[in-house]
Structure 1
Amino acid sequence: MTDRLKGKRALITAAGQGIGRATAEMFVAEGAEVFASDVNPDLLSGLDCEVLTLDVRDDASVRAGVDRAQPDILFNCAGFVHHGTVLDATDEEWDFAFDLNVTAMFRTIRATLPVMLKRGGGSIVNMSSACSSVMGAPNRFVYGTTKAAVIGLTKSVAIDYIKQGIRCNAICPGTVESPSWLDRVDALGKQLGSRDKAMEQFVSRQPMGRVATATEIAALVTYLASDESAFTTGHPHIIDGGWSGQ
């Protein structure tokens, strides 16, 4: 490790597991002062950094977290994956997904930007997906729509604040090994009658023949958070093992 984030303060949402946790650990290793947050504080146990309970669906909770962290780096990692087509989607699922996957980023960015502007710069990294405006995926209507919105949000923030030293990028992973993904494997396994069949279906769509590790995605987040990517803003960064390139 090379202290690429030394002297920087980072706020991470959904840092209790998966990509969020792997990123928190990598940021710490790279010298950042990390504020790892999650709506479930029990998941933050064992992290070697500041931890805080933060509900990205609650504006007061978001503002309290930002006030405490005063971040130079914001990684918006919180999100949820709904299964199904447009005909399967309910109004409740649509509203929940947009609130958690998109509006939550509006809340965190709106609260964080004044801190970054006062300091003269900052890096925002938003969790999108290859399943978005990049490509469609079967039975991911609500999810893919929200993640396309994240890319639009990212581009808008980037262009509005590029002259003030703010960079805003999105990451677009393919399938990543995480507790939430394993839950989806189990759910599909019940439909198919076998967990092995479900695992085979997920892995078969990846040209590399495997899914990503959370650490591989965290490495891209770290690059976009660091000064190494100082000339990079306003773009979706695809890291999907060739899935969208087929």
Structure 2
Amino acid sequence: MMASETDAPLIVLGIETSCDETAAALVRRDADGRGEILSNVVRTQIDLHAAYGGVVPEIAARAHIDLLDAAIRQAIADANLDFGAVDGVAAAAGPGLIGGLIVGVTTAKSMALGLTKPFMAVNHLEAHALSAGLTDGLGFPFLLLLVSGGHTQLLIVKDVGAFERLGTTLDDALGEAFDKAAKMLGLGYPGGPEVEAHAKHGSANIKLPRPMKGRPEPHFSLAGLKTALRHAAKT
């Protein structure tokens, strides 16, 4: 969705099922390459996974099957469009949980075939990286800290499909570490908001390590911090 002289106006239906949220959105690109989000429908699965303290892949995949059709129809309705207005169908094709990805990609391919429109497979991480320039005209190149449940990377985004990775996690991703820390401390799921809320009232006297401090390469490491937290919680 970055600006390009060759861009033509179009409307794309996007489908996201890579983890534990079922989502569908309509995005319109104008002749200048600027994007406009016409609708964005997200169905969470938090209640289904809370008892396990993390995402259960099989439960997530079954929930996508149950939720995706209604999410797509709601996205179309919220955008005040009909299916005939869609110029293409895109879906997250990886990385992610394989069961959920199959649900999203199969649905998107079937819709594209039925509408005789192109299907577009989208790299989940590239979508994260490029979403920063969807509506605010951000130009290339730019520096990006990409943080998600399964990935933590520092990148230079040079163009669509052109990335230079400066650093990455050597063990746990940040989102994964938050969920594991919350489960360890009995704080509930999802872990990020729970850890953040409790940290506001925590003790500053607990000393935790600062991983990778003083190292020349811009990598991340969270496993040692997680272990230190476990020891601190027992004292």
With the shorter chain as reference, the TM-score category is: 0.3 to 0.5
Tell me which of the two structures has the higher relative contact order, counting C-alpha pairs closer than 8 angstroms and 6 or more residues apart: 1
TM-score, normalisation: structure 1? 0.35
Of the two, which has the highest radius of gyration?
2
- Report the structure, 1 or 2, having the larger helix content: 1
